[in-house]
Chain A
Amino acid sequence: MKIDTSYSSVMSRKNEILKASTGIDYQQFEISPLAFDYEGLMNSGGYSLSDVQKIQLQTGVGNTPLVELKNVTELVRSISAPGKGARIFVKDEQTCPSGSFKDRRASLSVYHAVRLGYKGVVAATSGNYGAAVASQAAKYGLKAIILQEVYDSRKVGQPEILEKTRACEAYGAEVWQLTVGPELFYAMLLVLEETGFFSASLYVPTGVLGIETLGYELAQQVKEQEGRFPDVVVVAHAGGGNVTGTARGLQKAGSHNIVVVGASVDLRGLHMASDYDFNRKSFTTAHSGFGIPFLTWPDRTDVPRNPARALRYLTRYVLVSQGEVFYVTELLAKLEGMERGPAGNTSLAAAVPLAQELDREQILVIQETEYTAAGKLPSSQLTFAEENGVEVRRGNPRENIPGKVIVIPEQVEQMQVEEVSLAKIRESYLKNAIETVKGYKPTNKDILFLAEDSRSSVEFVQKTLNSLAAAKTEAQT
């Protein structure tokens, strides 16, 4: 019998396909229509931190150098108030086998797939994660299929993603280069059903757990070198895995007072599912188009419950502009001799203004770098931007308009972060949560879950839910 592959039919089989392809019965972690057992899901694979370290060591993942950016620090101090300008360090994750911290995620998921007896792995990702899965699959002798959103309807590809296609194919993966659309998920389900492979989604528990070693190593390295834990860790934020895993690792190292700052490139106003907007952005990850929606509703993903829940761990969330990231990418190459890709440099762009708030003896760590290559360089992205009608100039980066103007700063003093109100994000999260369970009355257990899940308090949740209900009644009358 031929299986119905229409959009609606495949989507209706979503839960059974995901259960078969992850080996996880997500249902068993559900506590109520609202709440689920977060730690239970996270630990469902049964891996301790030291298990993960051992597994990653087997394929050369992790143990990346911590590098002090002395010249960038001096440059920041030249514009800081007296006594200000923290020391800036970076965790050089590009030394992982496929060139980014994504190897940490892939290494544990591919290991897990082997353990469960799958013959291959599938991931839907346009980022470094595809290369990481393909690289790990090569090491373990598994087959890899990577699905990427690459082209608009003119078959014009985002150069950074075209480079990821090349990398995945270099590691021997079958790559599906797809056009713009949320049907990426549909295509992934189709391929999973057809092959019976493991879903190495970024959001299976192993995909998030694998990052804990990064936070753990970072805290340990700073402690060993400097005799204390860092004060601030800046994490490039998109889907939430990077923030979640890193922060959990920091906590497991015993450092509970570190300020964890998420940083994304500001692409507000560009629609992520728009065929037109797609090639008017110069960043394909660590941007607000993922960062904000994933904070306000983490379960909008390709698994029933997303263990990447950044709102649980963020102390602060800031946005930087595209031009500012290009500017610091140049600084890192020219002042520190490190030519690196855009994702880690998003954190560096935020670090420049953030370090000015801190005292000289304080320590700020940028938690990743990534490899760079053709397609990923600022020169490739700016050339592409201009070809797609985006204006590029130097000036005040506050004049940046996503999709229209990229403004490269003229001076380091012009760099700023834009604060995103986490209180507002929490309200949106609660609104989304309540909307998914229309008619259901949250219990005390649910309120406690929502407070934990939004890093707020029972009082905040109750107050917000009350005012949401009042607004709804008002709208109905």
Chain B
Amino acid sequence: MERTSLKQYTKSARKGDFVQIHKVILAPEERPLDLPAATKAVPYEGWIKGNLLDNKAEIGDTVRIETFIGRELSGTLVEINPVYDHNFGKPRPELLSIGKEARIVLEKQKKA
């Protein structure tokens, strides 16, 4: 399962903390008309990381951040010390034997 232990569950951040903000870029009604229904029904959203510029903030507050390139952006604070949690996946039985099977074919080929 996901290693959620890496995530911090502190709710408040201080100036300089590394955080992630969320922005609604277009509300559903502001999106172009020619979209599939499932896409048109939801807002167009974005997430950006940076260091908190406000002195103190709680999750859910509107905050300002400085991004890696020094730009100032504002949005809703959603995560403090955001974690990369994509991983290597689970071992897949469908894949594990492929190498061995191919080796057997190659051995036969060599003998022939």
Residues of A within 8 A of B (CB): 6-7, 71, 74-75, 77-78, 120, 143-145, 151, 153, 155, 157, 159, 162-163, 165-166, 169, 172-183, 186-187, 195, 271, 273-276, 326-327, 330-331, 333-335, 374-375, 377-384, 392-394, 408, 411-412
Contact = CB atoms under 8 A, between A and B. Distances in A.
A179 B44 contact: yes
Nearest to B109: A78
Given A78-B108, A120-B69, A271-B36, A179 B91 contact: no
Contact of B69 (A143, A186, A275, A411): A143
B2 to A, nearest CB: 10
Closest 7 CB pairs of A and B: A334-B99, A383-B89, A380-B89, A379-B89, A162-B86, A153-B42, A375-B86
Interface in B30-47: 30-32, 35-36, 38-39, 41-47
A181 B44 contact: yes
A283 to B, nearest CB: 15
A6 B50 CA distance: 25
A7 B85 CA distance: 33
Interface of B: 25-26, 30-32, 35-36, 38-39, 41-50, 67-71, 84-92, 94-95, 98-103, 105-106, 108-109
A276 B38 contact: yes
A177 B101 CA distance: 41
B71 A7 contact: no
A334 B26 contact: no
B98 A174 contact: no
Contacts of B48: 174-177
A382 B68 contact: no
Given A144-B69, A162-B84, A392-B94, A178 B44 contact: yes
B89 A384 contact: yes
Contact of B39 (A169, A186, A275): A275
Contacts of A379: 88-92, 95
A277 to B, nearest CB: 8
Contacts of B85: 162
A120 B42 CA distance: 32
A6 B102 contact: no
Given A276-B38, A375-B86, A412-B105, A334 B45 contact: no
Contacts of A75: 102, 105-106, 109
A75 B46 CA distance: 47
B106 A182 contact: no
Contact of A273 (B39, B50, B70, B92): B39
Contacts of A408: 94-95, 98
A181 B28 CA distance: 11
Nearest to A159: B86
Contacts of B39: 180-181, 273-275
16 contacts: A6-B30, A75-B105, A159-B89, A173-B68, A174-B48, A174-B68, A176-B46, A178-B44, A183-B26, A273-B39, A335-B102, A375-B86, A377-B88, A379-B90, A384-B89, A408-B94
A174 B71 contact: yes
Given A275-B36, A374-B86, A380-B89, 12 more contacts: A7-B30, A7-B32, A120-B69, A162-B84, A174-B71, A177-B47, A179-B43, A181-B35, A183-B44, A274-B36, A334-B98, A382-B92
A380 B87 contact: yes
Contacts of B46: 176-179, 187
B23 to A, nearest CB: 9
B102 A331 contact: yes
B67 to A, nearest CB: 4
A153 B31 CA distance: 14
Nearest to B67: A174
A163 B86 CA distance: 7
B92 A392 contact: yes
Nearest to A383: B89
A120 B102 CA distance: 49
Given A174-B48, A377-B88, A381-B89, A183 B31 contact: yes
Contacts of A271: 36
A374 B45 contact: no
Nearest to A162: B86
Contacts of A120: 69
B10 to A, nearest CB: 20
A169 B106 contact: no
Contact of A78 (B68, B100, B106): B106
A163 B87 CA distance: 9
A144 B70 CA distance: 11
Contacts of B102: 75, 331, 334-335, 412
Contacts of A333: 99
Nearest to A406: B94
A187 B25 contact: yes
A7 B31 contact: yes
Nearest to B23: A176
A182 B44 CA distance: 10
Given A75-B105, A178-B46, A393 B38 contact: no
Contacts of B35: 181-182, 273
A204 to B, nearest CB: 20
Q: Which of B42, B47, B71 has the most CB of A within 10 A?
A: B47
Contacts of B26: 7, 183, 186
